[in-house]
């Protein structure tokens, strides 16, 4: 009996792990162990994802909680090492670029346990982003690098990674999106967003570079407020973002914007799938809007997912109010490009399962 240990630590990880575990479920002689590090600040949200995506209950909850990057990474390493020593996995699967991804990979490397990294090779080339550091370290140490797009392959080769470790499999998040898309109806979007009509915008913000700087945050809200005068804007507010709104006394700037608490996966997918435009600083939402054919304005100065720009619906517009509004007006005056990148076909998890099964044979 071989053992694969899957690691999740934050909400987006669940959408990536769910289809992989499902694709491996019928493989004979294989035991799957799911470890939730508990990195995510809101366990109620994380547990809601487990129910919604039909994931099994984690076999282990490490309960590391929120902390500084160093403390959180250290706590994951200490607790994850014990889990590895007890479970004795033959292979560890990590996904994405959160602190748990890097911490688990470091532990596995020290214990000489092979690691497969799903969503490998993405680069923003901006090391002020903690996620960029996590991506670089994880890819340097992982044994199997499962990439979502050709640009990721090119990034890894440029860093000296041999081709034998690189496997282009496509975007596994799109597997989950396509599975649940039939439930993401316009009627459901109207209900969860408190909307009367069908034409609206969706906003999400959570990155420290946007919400922890009062001037930057105020400028973004100014642009969103202007957009809200022309169409309804639904702002799904991350708890970190909510605290900064209060701390910086920016709540008055949200007048006229429909503010909601964080939603479950299918409710939020309903909103994005039926929106006229999405404004976000989330990497995953850049990918989802590209797959859905929905306009996306990324409120950052760079992206680790350039294929969403070259082959999708995404525009990287920065954080200045004038730039956001100019890009919004231009985007709304042009048709949405209807292209989906190769291998974003809902079968990435099947390809990943075949590679992992072969690695264990």
Within 13 Å, how many C-alpha atoms sit on residue 78's CB side? 8
CA dist 7 and 23 (Å) reads 16
**pLDDT-derived band of residue 49, with 50, 70 and 90 as boundaries?**
confident
Share of the chain above pLDDT 90, in %: 87
**Is residue 41 predicted with pLDDT exceeding 60?**
no
* Among candidate residues 147, 56, 156, 141, the one with its CA nearest the CA of residue 96: 147
**What value does the mean pLDDT take over residues 21-25?**
95
Helix (H, G, I), strand (E, B) or coil at 258: strand
Predicted confidence at residue 155, as pLDDT, reads 98
Q: 10 Å Cβ neighbour count for 126?
A: 14
**What value does the mean pLDDT take over residues 41-55?**
67
Predicted confidence at residue 44, as pLDDT, reads 52
CA dist 181 and 229 (Å) reads 30
DSSP symbol at 5: E
Domains in the chain, please, with CATH? 2-170+344-360 (3.40.50.2000), 180-332 (3.40.50.2000)
pLDDT tens profile 138-184: 999 999 999 999 999 999 999 999 999 999 999 999 999 999 999 99
**What value does the mean pLDDT take over residues 309-333?**
97
**pLDDT-derived band of residue 38, with 50, 70 and 90 as boundaries?**
confident
pLDDT tens profile 60-119: 999 898 889 999 999 999 999 999 999 999 999 999 999 999 999 999 999 999 999 999
Q: Pick the catalytic residue from 69, 117, 206, 238.
A: 206
Q: Euclidean distance between the first and final Cα of the chain, in Å?
A: 11
pLDDT tens profile 255-279: 999 999 988 899 999 999 999 999 9
**pLDDT-derived band of residue 42, with 50, 70 and 90 as boundaries?**
low
* Among candidate residues 105, 168, 148, 71, the one with its CA nearest the CA of residue 308: 148
CA dist 356 and 116 (Å) reads 8
**What value does the mean pLDDT take over residues 325-348?**
93
Q: Is 206 a catalytic residue?
A: yes
Backbone angles phi, psi at 243, to 5 degrees: -65, -35
**What value does the mean pLDDT take over residues 16-20?**
94
**pLDDT-derived band of residue 352, with 50, 70 and 90 as boundaries?**
very high
* Among candidate residues 133, 116, 115, 112, the one with its CA nearest the CA of residue 124: 133
CA dist 130 and 133 (Å) reads 5
Classify residue 247 by burial, with Cβ atoms within 10 Å: 0-12, 13-18, 19+. Answer: exposed
Task: Tell me the C-alpha to C-alpha distance, in Å, between residue 316 and each of 128, 286, 301.
Answer: 17, 10, 6
Predicted confidence at residue 88, as pLDDT, reads 98
**Is residue 46 predicted with pLDDT exceeding 90?**
no
**Is residue 45 predicted with pLDDT exceeding 60?**
no
Cβ within 8 Å of residue 95, ≥6 positions away: 7, 8, 13, 16, 17, 101, 117, 118, 119, 172
Between 143 and 43, whose confidence is greater?
A: 143
**pLDDT-derived band of residue 291, with 50, 70 and 90 as boundaries?**
very high
Cα Rg of the chain (Å, integer) = 20
* Among candidate residues 41, 28, 155, the one with its CA nearest the CA of residue 100: 41
């Amino acid at each position: 009996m071989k053992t694969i240990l899957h690691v999740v630590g934050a909400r987006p990880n669940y959408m990536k792990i769910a289809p992989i575990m499902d694709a491996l479920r019928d493989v004979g002689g294989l035991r799957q162990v799911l470890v939730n590090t508990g990195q995510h600040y809101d366990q109620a949200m994380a547990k809601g994802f487990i129910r919604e995506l039909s994931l099994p209950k984690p076999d282990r909850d490490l309960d590391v909680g929120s902390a500084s990057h160093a403390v959180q990474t250290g706590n994951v390493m200490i607790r994850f090492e014990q889990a590895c020593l007890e479970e004795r996995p033959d292979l560890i699967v990590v996904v994405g670029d959160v602190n748990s991804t890097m911490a688990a990979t470091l532990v596995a490397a020290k214990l000489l346990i092979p690691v497969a990294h799903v969503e490998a090779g993405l680069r923003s080339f901006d090391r002020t982003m903690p996620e960029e550091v996590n991506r670089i370290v994880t890819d340097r140490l992982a044994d199997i690098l499962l990439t979502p797009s050709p640009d990721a392959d090119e990034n890894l080769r440029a860093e000296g990674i041999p081709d034998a470790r690189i496997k282009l499999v496509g975007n596994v998040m799109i597997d989950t999106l396509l599975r649940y898309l039939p439930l993401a109806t316009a009627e459901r979007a109207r209900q969860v967003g408190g909307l009367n009509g069908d034409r609206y915008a969706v906003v999400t913000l959570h990155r420290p570079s946007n919400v922890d700087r009062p001037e930057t945050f105020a400028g973004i809200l100014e642009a969103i407020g202007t957009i809200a005068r022309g169409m309804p804007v639904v702002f799904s507010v991350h708890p970190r973002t909510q605290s900064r709104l209060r701390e910086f006394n920016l709540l008055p700037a949200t007048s006229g914007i429909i503010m909601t608490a964080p939603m479950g996966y299918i409710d939020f997918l309903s909103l994005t799938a039926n929106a006229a435009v999405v404004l976000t600083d989330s990497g995953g939402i850049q990918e989802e809007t590209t797959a859905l054919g929905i306009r996306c304005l990324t409120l950052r100065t760079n992206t680790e997912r350039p294929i969403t720009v070259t082959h999708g619906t995404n525009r990287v517009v920065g954080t200045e109010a004038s730039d956001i509004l100019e890009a919004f007006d231009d985007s709304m005056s042009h048709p949405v490009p209807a292209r989906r990148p190769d291998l974003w076909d809902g079968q990435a998890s099947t390809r990943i399962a075949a590679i992992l099964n072969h690695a264990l044979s």
